[in-house]
Structure 1
Amino acid sequence: MDTDTRTPGRRPRRRTVVIASAVVVALTLGGGAAWAAERYLVPHVAIANVDEYEAAQAAQAAGTTTADGTTTATATDGTSTTTTDGTGTGTTAVSVQTVTTGSGTDTVTYYVADVTLGTATDLRSAFADDAFGQNITATTSAIAEDNDAIFAINGDYYGFRDTGIVIRNGVVYRDDGAREGLAFYTDGRVEVYDETATTADELVAGGVWNTLSFGPALIEDGAILDGIDDVEVDTNFGNHSIQGEQPRTAVGVIDENHLVFVVVDGRNEGHSAGVTMTGLAEILQSLGATTAYNLDGGGSSTMYYDGEVVNDPNGTQDERGTSDILYIAAEG
C-alpha cells in the first residue's frame, strides 16, 4: 500500500462546469431543446448565500442572534485537524492512502481516506458557489478551497435532480423523498434510510446533520447487498448509467465517528479500469466498513487533500464540475 498521498506539482484546477453529454445531443437534435437547456444547463438559484442562510437558521433554532456556533478547525501537521463545535473538543484525524491492484488492463487504482472525527459535526457539506439550486456547479477542489477544506470528496450531485431529501449542516434544503438515502447524525451514527418513509423535519428533529441522496447502499450489517450491480439511481433525461466498471466515490462506516471515503479512478487503461458496484463494495468491506453507500461517480469522482487533487478525475486529470462536497475544514 502506497502511503504517498500527493502528486508533486499537480495543483487543483479551478473551473466551473455544467453537465453536457446527452443534453448537448438533445440541443443539436432540436425538439425539446429549449426545455432541456432550461432544465439541465441553466443555473437556477433558490438560495444565493448559503453561509448566511445557515447562520440565520442556526441562530433562529438557538433563539439567539449570534453566529452559528458550528465547527471551526485549525490545521496541524497536514494529516489532522483540531476542531471545536461549542460543546466539546476533539481531534479529527485524516490519513490518505493510494492503493493499486492488478496489472495491465485489469489495473485498479483507488484512494482511501481514513477519517476519525473529533465530533460528528466536523464533517460538513458545501455547495458550489455557496448557492443552493439546480445546475450550479464548480469543481470539487474549487468548492474545497472556497471553504478552507483540508479534505473533501464530491457529494451526491443533488443539483442534477429535483427530488430527494437534502439536509446539510443541520439545515433542510429539500424535502421530496424519492430513494434510499444516507443520514449522518450529530451523535456520530450513520444510517441508510428510506426517504419516502419520513420527512426532512422529522430527520432534523431526530438529530440528523447531513443527508445524501444517491445510492445504492452497498453494505449493511457488514454484508454486501444483493442486486447492487443492476441499480439505476435515476431514469431522468441525460442521466448516465452507473453500471459496469466506472470511476466511483463512496463512504463507509467503521464505527461512530470513524469513516472511510473511497474514490476509484477509471476510464484510464493501464492506470485504472474502474470497478463495478460489487467491486466497490468489496473494497469497502475489506477496509472494515459495516455500512457503505455509493455517491455520484464517473467524471465527478474526486478526492482533495491538503491543497491537491490526489486522484485522476475522469481519466484525464481534469475535474468535472459538481453541485456539492463533503469536507473537513482547516483554519485559513
Structure 2
Amino acid sequence: MTQQQKTSRKPGRVRRAVIAGAVALTLSAGGATAWALDRFVIQHVEISDVSAYQASQSGTTTSAVQAGTSTSAAVTTDTTSAAVTTDTTYSSESSDITISTVTTGSGDSTVTYYVADVVLGDATTLQSAFANDSFGENITETTSTIAEANNAIFAINGDYYGFRDTGIVIRNGVVFRDEGVRQGLAFYRDGTVKVYDETTTTAGQLLAEGVWNTLSFGPSLLDNGEVAEGIEDVEVDTNFGNHSIQGEQPRTAVGVIDENHLVFVVVDGRSPGYSAGVTMTGLAEIMQGLGATTAYNIDGGGSSTMYFNGGLVNNPLGQNKERGTSDILYIAG
C-alpha cells in the first residue's frame, strides 16, 4: 500500500516533554533512554495527511469493495438535513443519540458511568479520525480536539492504535495496518458488528467482506449476551510502559443491541467518592444490563472520554482533564 510520507516533524507537546524528562531520569543513560524516547515519545508519522490519503482511495463503489476488487473506499455521509439537539439528545436523518448518566454505590465504592444509546440510519455514519489527521505511533491529541476538528456531535476515545505497531487497523473503509495479533472488533457496512480473531484473516479479506472500521484492543466482554469467561486474566499489552488493564479502572466499551443500534459506555474511575472504576467483569455486566449481546473493551484509564455537542460528558479521573489519545470514533453533526 503506497503511503504518503511525512516530510517534517510536528512540534512536540508539553506532555511529551514531561514524559521525556521522566524517562531520562528513571532509566539508565545511553541506549535505554534512547529506546524509551523512541518508543513512547518521538512521533513516527507514516501518513501525514490522512484526509488526503483517504480521498485518494475514493471512487470505488461499495459493491466493488465487497467483491474484493479494491482495498478501500470512502463514503461521505449526508448530514445536511435539520437536526434537533438538546443537552442530552441529538436527532437527525442519519442518527439518534441519547446520553444518560448512571451512578451506583456509595462512598468510596461509588461508580459513575455515562451511556450513549445510538441508532444509525447508515452504518457508515459512525466514523473514525486520527490525532493531527496523521497515522503512526506516538501521535496524540485529546478526544475533544480530534472531535472538534471533525465537526463531531458525538465521540469517544478509540483503541489508542498509536501505542503499538500491531493489530488490524481499517478506518472509514481504508487499510492502515495489517498485523493481526489479538481479538478485534469489526464494524460492517451493513450494520452488523462482530468480534473476530485477527490472526485468522487479513485486512484485505475483511474489506472484501464489507468491513468499514476495526478496533484492536479487547477483550470481548459478552458472548451471545453472557459474560465472557477469562476476561479478568486478559492482557492487551504486557510490554514495558503499559500497566495491567485489570482491577477497578476507568473503562470505555462498545456494545451491540441490534443492527445499527449501538451503545457506548465510559466509566470514570480512580476518583474515590465520585467513581472508583469497574473491573472487566463489572463492565461486562453493565453492557449486559443495557441489553447488549456483543460488547468489546477498548482503551481505558485516563483515555476514557465521551464528548457530546461541544464538550466533555464525563469527568476523566475526577479531574475534568483529558489525556491525549491517537484516535476516536465519532458521529458528525
Task: State the partner residue of 2:6.
Answer: none
The residue number in structure 2 matching 1:243 is 246
Match of 1:274 in 2: 277
CA distance in structure 2 between the aligned counterparts of 1:41 and 1:27, rounded to whole angstroms: 14
Deviation string for 1:176-219 (max 9, x for gaps)? 00100000000000000000000000000100000000000000
Note the C-alpha offset of 1:25: 4.2
Q: Which has the higher contact order (CA 8 A, sep 6+)?
A: 1
> Which of the numbers 75, 79, 82 marks the counterpart of 1:73?
79
Verify the 8 A CA contact 1:49 1:130 in the aligned structure 2.
Answer: yes
Unaligned 5+ runs, structure 2 = 1-12, 65-72
The partner residue of 2:235 within 232, 248, 265 is: 232
Tell me the secondary structure at the aligned position of residue 22 of structure 2.
helix
The 4+ residue runs of structure 1 with deviation greater than 4 A are: 15-23, 60-63
Q: Name the CA distance, whole Å, in 2 between partners of 1:294 and 1:18.
A: 26
Unpaired segments of 5 or more residues in structure 1? 1-14, 83-89
Give deviations 1:41-84, integer Å, cap 9, x for gaps: 00111001111111111136689xxx9541132461223353xx
TM-score calculated relative to the size of structure 2: 0.87
Per-residue Cα deviation, 1:274-309 (whole angstroms, up to 9, x for no partner) = 000000000000000000000000000000001110
Check whether the contact 2:191–2:259 (CA below 8 A) recurs between aligned residues: yes
Confirm or deny that 1:97 pairs with 2:100.
yes
Amino acid at match of 1:80: Y
Structure 1 position 41 matched with structure 2 position 47: no
Match of 2:114 among 91, 111, 116: 111
What is the aligned length? Answer: 306
Whether contact under 8 Å (2:173, 2:212) holds in the other structure is yes
SS of 1:299's equivalent in the other structure is helix
Distance in 1, Cα, partners of 2:98 & 2:305: 16
Counterpart of 1:307, as a letter, is G
Matched to 1:77, the amino acid is: V
Letter paired with 1:290: T
Residues 99-124 of structure 1, C-alpha deviations (whole Å, 9 max, x = no match) = 00110011000000000001000000
Secondary structure in 1 aligned to 2:277? coil
How far apart in 1 are the matches of 2:191 and 2:60? 24
Distance, in Å, in 2 between the alignment partners of 1:286 and 1:19 is: 42
CA distance in 2, matches of 1:73, 1:33: 48
Q: Distance in 2 between matches of 1:54 and 1:97?
A: 34
How far 1:315 moved relative to its partner?
Answer: 2.4
TM-score, normalization: structure 1? 0.88
